[in-house]
A and B are shown apart, each in its own frame.
Chain A
Amino acid sequence: MRAPDERFRVTPDPLGVSAVAALVADSGCGAVTTFVGLVRDHNAGRRVLWLEYEAYEPLAVKAFQQIEEETRERWPSAGLAIHHRIGRVAIGEPSVVIAAASAHRADAFAASRYAIERLKQIAPIWKHEHFEGGEVWIEGATADPGDEAARQMALARACS
């Protein structure tokens, strides 16, 4: 059996930005970009207390791998790592870290932007917002990896 790929993980443990970056950088890379998604203290006029993330773990890891395959089609030299937190995450802590490495910075920036846009479209991960006075499941896109229009939208954002 193949060892699990450390680059694509869903974990209840705190995320380390430099550790994720280290998984993609090699001697051929001239650039690594990191995207860090943080839990912020407000949303839609509500005072957020904390977030609870839930994932369908094996499918989430496969979605991350698919995102990497898609990224390589467009930016062949770019390498990617994605770590996403699950469970309760406090204000100010990272919920997701994406690192993209490439020979040149333009591809690394674009690949990391593409990855976060696609993650939000197709990764089976849910966010339960606990705010002052109540709670709500944040529900965005219906996950459909075959939705070509959604993919094109992510590409357009990455290349803007």
Chain B
Amino acid sequence: MLVTIRLFARLREIAGAAELERTLPDGATARTAWDVLVGEFPPLEDYATAVSCAVNEEYARLTAVLKDGDEVAFLPPVSGGSGISAGSGFSRTNVRLQPDR
């Protein structure tokens, strides 16, 4: 079956794409899709315990079973709003410093 995978924020940057299509075996779950992605883009592994997912624009568990044509989205930890409780912003190692000129 063919599924569409959506990626956001840092996950999108790691994979170099906001949207991918992948063929998965029947019975595949959201976790199957995630594992395929990690195989292709190993730095995604850093998000193994922090990622959330959505199937067809609804929050879902990684155990959710997918069907042909589904859209599965993987979401890194969220941080909308005004920053009142965002902490240091260094909770994960994604800071990129510009080289000294």
Contacts and interface: CB of A to CB of B under 8 A. Distances in A.
Interface stretch (B22-30, B35-43, B84-92): B84-92
Interface residues of B, number: 36
A37 B82 contact: yes
Nearest to A55: B80
A93 B101 CA distance: 30
Contacts of A134: 95-98
A122 B79 CA distance: 9
A124 B75 contact: yes
Contact of A137 (B6, B58, B94): B94
B86 A138 contact: yes
Interface of A: 36-38, 40, 43-44, 46, 53-56, 58-60, 62, 84, 95-96, 116-117, 119-129, 133-146
Given A133-B97, A133-B98, A140-B85, A59 B54 contact: yes
B94 A136 contact: yes
A55 B12 CA distance: 12
B101 to A, nearest CB: 10
B17 to A, nearest CB: 14
B81 A96 contact: yes
Nearest to B57: A58
B94 A142 contact: no
